[in-house]
Structure 1
């Protein structure tokens, strides 16, 4: 283990220790003053914090839509490539069948298309003709089979072309959906950044303290339920690998739509963590919630994914002892936080 990795492990351990100290409520980063001494700006900053939370939440929802459209576009592009290959192969087969059908027609033309009885009477070698009669019947059957295969191949090509056209239409629709999602994301983030740009340095510091205080209070309330006494699950081998990967990304910036290696969004981090453990999972937090096995919070173990908010718009990877690693939002970096610092929708297990 290198020096950098040791510092990371130590930092993580310290953070987890602070987050999970039994029976200890979280202290506010800045003690809350009494009502009579509360500075007026805090009320305004709380409103700003609420506004920013809303904007960044909407951006997260739009990011999920963008990522979903991106995944569909990849799948549809692959499907179109497969169909194109089938069309090329089918056309070669059709050309071959047409060539064989032409040869069969030419052979029939050379015999004059006469009935078998007439050919027998006119033949200079009646016995030879009779000997070949069986082969003629077989040839007729082969010709019928050739025509049947030719027709089926033409029908297959028509279906492939129709399927390709449908896939192109879907791809175009998903590209438009992706562009709309990209536009919403940029608008939401720009609006949030514009609000933050108006704040003075001291106001930004106080806003960060208020954000941290809200997270600490939520985590403290969650721990106050005694939930950690019930969570005893040990990580699976793949879960350990996913946790190791995710914690190694700490400090890297959040970037919407990013899947690493230099930056991540929330589901980009969790999907890549599990991919590194040899278990591909859905790309978006909403699909992770829909498709992966749900487990009770008391049964969760390191490596499981915690899905947040009613619309499953955020996801984090549980690392144990009441802590998560996640990519929070634009302007933040991958970090460790309390598992209960946001409203939990549920828990899913990639390697169930």
Structure 2
């Protein structure tokens, strides 16, 4: 029988004692590392970097596309608005001429105008004078009507251009968050590359290397330009001269070769719809596109390419077999 004031024996270890015993039996865990995630292995870091690079290619390409669309819309709006201003000035001038003519006719009509014509001895002269005045007024009226219509047409075109500009602005604003995402990716890429000891700053003033491959003509000029950029840093959205993204490099290289390419990878692929060639029939200077159209490079011949790879790297020449991206096709400018 239990004695009053004494604890009942239950045959179980008290809770506090059990916790203390468990603490003694479990291995010690440093406090600072209690919730720390294990660092990725080199293989895991490289795999994550490759995924980030692929995602960044697509995001940067979309942002570049939006920027090009906005530039075209703005240029179209400015052109139409300028034409509208000039046309409006012409219409205003004609209207002022009509007002001046009407006032002059009213003021002079009783003396030198109407009375002068009525005083003519020859009725034929009077009729000719009236006809000339009517023709002049009709001509001016037709001109104003024509210019008014042209102004209405231009105003409608201007409104369309403004709508296009508004839409392009909206698109650019929407994709600004994609750029912010790209910025975050760049930071993540940079962090991983530094951890791997593989981050390359590059030299914006690099003089590159000499091209000694088999290309000739325009293709050689394009490749000589591209090889002169070797060592310069990759910079997304970069169009030179101190840094390049992939399509910025191919565009500038072929500009040096006398061919005008569009700015973005998608546009370059679309531009080359009738110029596509098999990957088995590559020639120096051909543009090589990755799957998803997120990246483009220049075939240099002898199994090599020159390209601006991704954040943390530089314009460089590598073998096509080590390209590391799935290919979708090629275009011969």
Rounded Cα–Cα distance in structure 2 between residues aligned with 1:163 and 1:295: 39
Tell me the CA shift for residue 338 of structure 1.
1.6
CA contact (8 A) 2:237 2:245 kept: yes
1:344 equivalent to 2:327? Answer yes
1:265 equivalent to 2:245? Answer yes
> Which residue of 2 is the match for residue 133 of structure 1?
130
Superposition pairs of residues 1-352 of structure 1, within 5 angstroms: 44-107=41-104, 109-110=106-107, 123-125=118-120, 127=122, 128-197=125-194, 199=195, 204=196, 235-292=215-272, 293-309=275-291, 311-341=292-322, 342-350=325-333
SS at match of 2:263: coil
Tell me the CA shift for residue 82 of structure 1.
1.3
Tell me the CA shift for residue 196 of structure 1.
4.3
Gaps of 5+ in 2: 1-37, 200-213
Alignment root-mean-square deviation, CA? 2.9
Rounded Cα–Cα distance in structure 2 between residues aligned with 1:146 and 1:344: 61
CA contact (8 A) 1:70 1:178 kept: no
Identify the structure with bigger relative contact order (alpha carbons < 8 Å, sequence gap 6+): 1
User: What is the aligned residue count?
Assistant: 273
CA contact (8 A) 2:80 2:154 kept: no
SS at match of 2:321: coil
SS at match of 1:337: strand
CA contact (8 A) 1:66 1:177 kept: no
Rounded Cα–Cα distance in structure 1 between residues aligned with 2:299 and 2:137: 71
Rounded Cα–Cα distance in structure 2 between residues aligned with 1:333 and 1:103: 70
Rounded Cα–Cα distance in structure 2 between residues aligned with 1:346 and 1:164: 36
The structure with the largest helix share of the pair is 1
Rounded Cα–Cα distance in structure 2 between residues aligned with 1:109 and 1:162: 40
CA contact (8 A) 1:285 1:312 kept: yes
- Cα 1:251–1:101, aligned 2, differ >3 Å: closer, same or farther? same
Looking at CA atoms only, which structure, 1 or 2, has the larger radius of gyration? 2
> Which residue of 2 is the match for residue 22 of structure 1?
none
Rounded Cα–Cα distance in structure 2 between residues aligned with 1:98 and 1:252: 61
| TM value normalised by structure 1 | 0.70
- Runs of 4+ with deviation above 6 angstroms: none
Rounded Cα–Cα distance in structure 2 between residues aligned with 1:105 and 1:191: 75
Rounded Cα–Cα distance in structure 1 between residues aligned with 2:192 and 2:147: 67
CA contact (8 A) 1:93 1:153 kept: no
| TM value normalised by structure 2 | 0.73
